[in-house]
Amino acid sequence: MTELLTDRLHLRTFRLDDFEAHAEITADPEVMRYIHAGPLSRVEAWWQIARYVGHWQLRGYGMWAVAERSTNRLIGHIGFLNPEAGLGFELGWALARHAWGRGYALEGTRAAVHHAFTVLERDHIACVIRPENERSILLAERLGATLEGETEESGRKLLVYGIRRPETVGP
């Protein structure tokens, strides 16, 4: 599985020893506020990691565990999902609250988007965001995403942003 390095981050495969930190991150109601209908239980956090690891096996890409390079501390996840009945190749991210405001989300998602366009040779990346999640909308826009439409999931309105592969980017 592919790993990515940025100046401050290591995007890598989830490992068993990531579980405690992942469970703590996803148990935070503020982290999960726009992602899930509440914080994840330990069991749900376990199945989420299993889903992420399995996605790599089935699709050849997926969510990376995000660790600070200076400490090797797990601070969240960034990557791609393309589930059955989903909206296609979708970029997602979630970071621990203590990692917010440091530019990590932008740094990690930029690396992921570059990887998608150059290595995976994707032409389009979707970002599905709840309308009230202003921070994620701003991040998507900083990545070059534009609003493409709306959808609904479980009775909740979602905005669909898209990032198109630039003409100058090649494999």
| Residue linked to tokens 């932008």 | 106
Q: What is the pLDDT of residue 154?
A: 79
Tokens of 129: 């965001």
Q: What is the pLDDT of residue 171?
A: 54
**Cα 21–Cα 24–Cα 30 angle in degrees, nearest 5:** 130
- Between residues 83 and 16, which one has the greater pLDDT? 16
Structurally, at CATH architecture level, domain 4-122 sits in: 3-Layer(aba) Sandwich (3.40)
43-80: pLDDT as tens digits: 999 999 999 999 999 999 999 999 999 999 999 999 99
Tokens of 87: 């909206």
Please list, residue by residue across 45-56, b when 16 or more beta carbons sit within 10 angstroms of its beta carbon and e when fewer do: beebbeebbebb
Cβ pair 107, 7 in contact under 8 A: yes
d(CA 62, CA 165): 19
78-117: pLDDT as tens digits: 999 998 777 889 999 999 999 999 999 999 999 999 999 9
Burial, 38: exposed, middle or buried (Cβ in 10 Å; 0-12, 13-18, 19+)?
exposed
d(CA 21, CA 77): 11
Residue ranges per structural domain of the chain: 4-122
**pLDDT of 168 strictly over 80:** no
Question: In the predicted model, what is the mean pLDDT of the chain?
Answer: 93
**pLDDT of 125 strictly over 70:** yes
**pLDDT of 139 strictly over 80:** yes
